Amino acid sequence: MDIGMQLDEQMEIIDETIYAHYYKTAEYVIRNILRGIGSNEDIEDCVHETLEEVLMNREKFDVARGSIKTYVCVIARSKALYARKKLVKHQTVPLEDDLVLVYDDELEVKEAVKHILKQLNANERKLFTLRFLYYMPIEEVSKTLGLSRGNVDVKLSRLRKKLVKLFNTFGIDVREGR
Amino acid sequence: MKKKETCLDDLIDNEQLMLLTGEVFDQTKKTFKFKYVAATILIFLGLVGSLNFNTVYAKVSEVFVHIFGQGIERADYFKDYWVLKEPVTFQLENGGEGIIEAAYKNKDEVTVVVTAPDRAVWTSKENKLLIGDKAYESTRFEMGVIYPQAFDGDFDKVNYKIEYGFLYNKEEAEDQEMYLKIANQKIPLEFILPVEMSGMEVDKVQLKGFEMYVMSLSQTNDSVAIAIKPKNQRLEDYAIYLHDPVLIDENGKEYRIDYLSQSRNELKCYEPIEGKFVGFKSGGICYRTKMKGHYNKEDPVTFPKVKIPLPKMNEKVALNKEIEIEGIKILIKEVELTSAGISITYASREQGAILSSIDMHPTQLTFECVGNTLGSNEYRITGDFSAYTGQEIEMDVSEVEMRIKQAVEYHFED
């Protein structure tokens, strides 16, 4: 066997390992975003697409920016949201806890978002990420953060108020729902 | 110009998304209890070998613990809990101080108790995140130094390094968390603060870990919240929630607590007095404390004479005069004299009530105060019109009858 073939085989093994290792991670993210919308097949397809993209674009992965797991989550989220859009094209299925910003200037609002996210503490950021970016149900959030459901509700409500307040200081209105 | 509308999540760029995602998915989940400290525990177990229980100061079956991120919890499930003889402090690189005072064991798992009480260390003036990765990067402490008395294990051979942590000001009621790095393994540390109320005994085992002042009490439907303040002024205030608390007397007889007043450094309970109340019990724990004073119905009570000016016939006079009988304040709002008799309108401190009219003759006087500030207790003040001079009514209070409830005060030792 020549070196090229050996390398190919090794790459295949690595790919399979990565695929198997991160399947659950991707599925977890996707299942939460597609819950109530997609079938198991939709979810599986999405997971497959996610991992394919991760493997195909491995050169884009930058360890300085985050772990492979993080990378997988981000890709999975993006795939799931895209799939969700397609699936709900003719339905009105609002994502829970969606905040819509009403603004004039896109550049300004992006800067404001960056600034505001820095104003949040680590726990608030985690909550924000889980709920507003990954649309996890409260039960999942509470499990992930090790908090009671009630506690999550309270923290979420505070966070929502805080975000609205912070955005308002930038002259940006916030309304709920997509 | 028409405003644009975009979902917040669409305005987050990839860089931010990676960061935020990493914070959640790439870190050990901060979950209560032992699940996520299992790694720490296993390492500890491996290092500790056998623990010498005799060298620890106290071992209790139950204790309240404050778990950062969780609040005060009953530690019923902590089968073994150790409080160090002397808390050991260690210096953080930025000048702050960490304290380790206890450790607990559950099944085969052992974890340590670390507190970092100096708020100034953890928060900046702007209440922003102060401690980032770098702040703890090179902070090291020797576990052997920390546990000279408590454990016979090999802690002295192990370096523990706090890799980094996030700590926030309490004003935002945020959780605190910190990570230890042990042998290149990043491990979350749970901060656990054992709570003891000063002067109390827990199942006759005196805990010396932390001394607290009881600051205030409040009651919800099924629990009593006790705000406590550690004697160490640097520590934050905490609250303990007692579910279904009951009073116990010195013979161990239990009484349900109907009401607890909110007052500084004292616990007021209103119950039938059938013995000396010397503590209260919550769950399996019996709390005992010295009682500085309590209502004793054996004590002689001098009731005041209550004099109310008598109005002219068919006249209503606003008095707004407060009378106090045995600590019960009653506001006599107005008095009216009609052919039917004398009508006195009065109010307790919170809720008004109208006294049924009484005739002109000396008769029994009855005040019934319901729902006053002393809780749902009912007070019956009985007496006679001992004199009716034509100008004023003189009421002789013969008895202040707190038939349903009595007041007992528990003062927690300073």
Confidence of residue B402 (pLDDT cuts 50, 70, 90): very low
> Which residue reads 């805990």 in tokens?
B207
Closest Cβ opposite residue A73 in set B5, B21, B69: B21
Interface mutation target, options B20, B28, B72, B176, chain A, most CBs of A under 10 Å: B20
Which pair of tokens denotes residue B263?
A: 């007052």
pLDDT digits (tens, 9 = 90+) for B154-169: 333 223 333 323 332 2
Task: Report the pLDDT value the prediction gives residue A6, as an integer from 0 to 100.
Answer: 58
Closest Cβ opposite residue B25 in set A73, A143, A174: A73
Residue type, A36: G
CB contact under 8 Å between A101 and B18, yes or no, is no
Task: Report the pLDDT value the prediction gives residue B344, as an integer from 0 to 100.
Answer: 65
Chain B residues touching A117 at Cβ < 8 A? 12, 16, 20
CB contact under 8 Å between A101 and B24, yes or no, is no
Distance set, CA A124 to CA A150, A162, A175, B32 (Å): 16, 10, 19, 17
**Hey, is the C-beta of B414 within 8 angstroms of any chain A C-beta?**
no
**Hey, is the C-beta of B299 within 8 angstroms of any chain A C-beta?**
no
Chain A nearest CA to B82, separation (Å) = 25
pLDDT digits (tens, 9 = 90+) for B86-121: 455 555 444 555 555 554 444 444 444 445 443 222
| Segments of chain A scoring below 70 in pLDDT | 1-15, 17, 58-66, 89-97, 176-178
Chain B residues touching A145 at Cβ < 8 A? 29-31
Task: Report the pLDDT value the prediction gives residue B91, as an integer from 0 to 100.
Answer: 52
Chain A nearest CA to B215, separation (Å) = 24
Which pair of tokens denotes residue A108?
A: 């300004």
CB contact under 8 Å between B7 and A144, yes or no, is no
Q: Give the ipTM.
A: 0.82
- List, in sequence order, every beta strand (DSSP E) within B310-375: 315-325, 328-338, 341-348, 352-354, 364-370
Residue type, B40: T
> Which residue reads 């992930």 in tokens?
A144
Closest Cβ opposite residue B25 in set A69, A99, A103: A69
Confidence of residue B49 (pLDDT cuts 50, 70, 90): very low
Chain A residues touching B129 at Cβ < 8 A? 121-122
pLDDT digits (tens, 9 = 90+) for B370-400: 433 333 334 445 454 444 445 555 555 544 4
Buried b (16+ CB within 10 A) or exposed e, B100-126: bbbbbbbeebbbbbbbbbbbebbbeee
With CA atoms as reference, the chain A residue closest to B14 would be A74
Kindly tell me if the per-residue pLDDT of B323 is higher than 80. no
Neighbours of A139 (CB within 10 A): 10
Which pair of tokens denotes residue B144?
A: 């052997």
Interface mutation target, options B5, B8, B15, B175, chain A, most CBs of A under 10 Å: B8
Q: Could you give the CA distance from residue A159 to residue B11 in angstroms, rounded to a whole number?
A: 18
CA-wise closest residue to B136 among B101, B190, B180:
B180
Confidence of residue B24 (pLDDT cuts 50, 70, 90): confident
Chain A residues touching B172 at Cβ < 8 A? 121
Closest Cβ opposite residue A66 in set B26, B166, B172: B26
Residue type, B327: G
CB contact under 8 Å between B1 and A67, yes or no, is no
pTM of the model: 0.36
Kindly tell me if the per-residue pLDDT of B329 is higher than 80. no
Task: Report the pLDDT value the prediction gives residue B210, as an integer from 0 to 100.
Answer: 35
Rg (CA), chain B: 30
CB contact under 8 Å between A106 and B6, yes or no, is yes
Task: Report the pLDDT value the prediction gives residue A14, as an integer from 0 to 100.
Answer: 64
Task: Report the pLDDT value the prediction gives residue A67, as an integer from 0 to 100.
Answer: 73
Chain A nearest CA to B15, separation (Å) = 8
